[in-house]
Structure formats: structure tokens, C-alpha cells
């Protein structure tokens, strides 16, 4: 229903509606790709649960505000902010992998993956069914409320075991990180350019 919302916000003509819808939709993923390494590094340093709390709270606010925008530019800005705030799915995958006993990690990750896939299937179905019933703006507000429930559940129900500190050893050379650790960068560059 994003094209309908873009039209409601003042985009005129089929070409403009398609263009602004694409920009607004892609903005979230563009922003998420930019900050994913940062959230991963902060998760390594401060814990995965904190990153999940941050992501769910930020997305709940931004999604709710999306239902209150008045212009297409505001919509694009909030879609960017949703991307910057995101990282819940990847963070939850890492948290589950680290907290689950090795003998049950395959099962736990499978259940999580099934839940993420189910959300990806049911979410758009509900997103398409709700606007005619409650309106586009209310659909965003409701989505923000559901994400806020995920924030509360994450905050109060998820327990993260402290990670064991590495044994004290002589200072080692600073390990390489990020892009420099990828031996053959061509496939990664191809994936980034083709989406």
C-alpha cells in the first residue's frame, strides 16, 4: 500500500508515484546496509540484547511517526530512520545462536527462521488488508504498536547470559576487521551492486 500512501501525500502522476514509492521503499534497506556493521560491532561490545532493545524501540517510534507524515519527503526520511534503527532480525539470530546450547542450536535457529519467514508472509497480507478497514495512517500506527510490544517483550523477557571474558594474555597484534578480512571481494561487490 506504499504507492497509495505516496499518492495520498501529494505525488501526482503514475511516474512520480512509482518513483517516490521506490525511493521510500529502498531507503530503509539502503540505510540498514550502511549501519549494519556498526550495530554488529556495538553488539559485540555491549551485548546483543541491548541492540535488540535499541532496534525495536527505534523502529516502533519511526513506524508510528510514519503514520503521521504530511509529505513524501517526510515519508522517505522516516523510512531512512527505520533502516538506521533496524537490525532486529540479524541481531536476534546472533543472540539465539550464542545463547542456545550447541546441541539445540540448529532447532532454535530453525524456529527463529520460521518465525521471521512467517512474519514476512503474514505482515504484507495484513498490511494489504488493514488499510481499507482502518486506513493507511492507522495501519502504520498499529504496526508501531506491535513493534512496541516486541520492544517490551525483548526488554523484559529475553535474558542474555554474560559472555565469558577471554583469558588474560600478552597483547596481540590488532586483528584485521571488516572488508580487509574478505579474501575475494568480487562476489560481495557483485551482491552489493545487484541487490
User: Does any domain span residue 182?
Assistant: no
**pTM higher than 0.85 for the full model?**
no
Condensed to tens digits (0 to 9), the pLDDT of residues 70-116 reads: 999 999 999 999 999 988 988 999 899 888 898 998 999 999 999 99
DSSP string, 55-104: HHHHHHHHHHHHTT--SHHHHHHHHHHHHHH--HHHHHHHHHHHHS-GGG
CATH number of the domain where residue 33 is located: 1.20.1250.20
In which band, very low, low, confident or very high, does the pLDDT at 54 lie, cut at 50, 70 and 90? very high
Per the structure, the complete domain to which residue 62 belongs is given by: 2-160
User: Does any domain span residue 137?
Assistant: yes
What is the mean predicted confidence (pLDDT) over 164-174?
55
Q: What is the pLDDT of residue 2?
A: 87
User: Does any domain span residue 184?
Assistant: no
Condensed to tens digits (0 to 9), the pLDDT of residues 122-150 reads: 988 998 899 999 999 999 999 999 999 99
Helix (H) or strand (E) run with residue 81 in it: helix 72-85
In the chain, how many domains are there? 1
User: Does any domain span residue 173?
Assistant: no
Helix (H) or strand (E) run with residue 189 in it: helix 186-194
User: Does any domain span residue 147?
Assistant: yes
User: Does any domain span residue 177?
Assistant: no
What is the mean predicted confidence (pLDDT) over 160-187?
63
User: Does any domain span residue 180?
Assistant: no
Q: What is the pLDDT of residue 169?
A: 47
Amino acid at each position: 500500500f506504499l504507492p497509495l500512501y505516496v499518492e495520498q501525500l501529494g505525488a501526482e502522476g503514475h511516474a512520480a508515484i512509482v518513483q517516490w514509492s521506490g525511493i521510500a521503499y529502498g531507503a530503509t534497506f539502503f540505510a540498514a546496509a550502511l549501519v549494519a556493521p556498526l550495530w554488529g560491532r556495538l553488539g559485540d561490545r555491549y551485548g546483543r540484547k541491548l541492540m535488540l532493545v535499541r532496534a525495536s524501540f527505534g523502529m516502533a517510534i519511526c513506524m508510528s511517526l510514519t503514520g503521521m507524515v504530511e509529505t513524501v519527503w517526510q515519508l522517505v526520511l522516516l523510512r531512512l530512520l527505520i533502516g538506521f534503527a533496524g537490525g532486529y532480525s540479524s541481531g536476534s539470530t546472533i543472540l539465539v545462536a550464542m545463547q542456545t546450547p550447541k546441541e539445540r542450536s540448529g532447532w532454535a535457529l530453525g524456529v527463529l527462521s520460521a518465525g521471521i519467514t512467517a512474519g514476512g508472509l503474514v505482515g504484507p497480507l495484513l498490511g494489504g488488508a488493514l488499510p481499507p478497514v482502518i486506513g493507511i495512517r492507522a495501519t502504520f500506527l498499529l504496526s508501531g504498536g506491535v513493534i512496541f510490544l516486541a520492544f517490551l517483550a525483548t526488554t523484559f523477557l529475553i535474558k542474555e547470559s554474560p559472555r565469558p571474558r577471554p583469558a588474560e594474555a600478552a597483547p596481540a597484534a590488532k586483528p584485521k576487521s571488516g572488508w580487509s578480512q574478505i579474501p575475494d571481494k568480487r562476489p560481495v561487490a557483485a551482491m552489493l551492486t545487484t541487490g
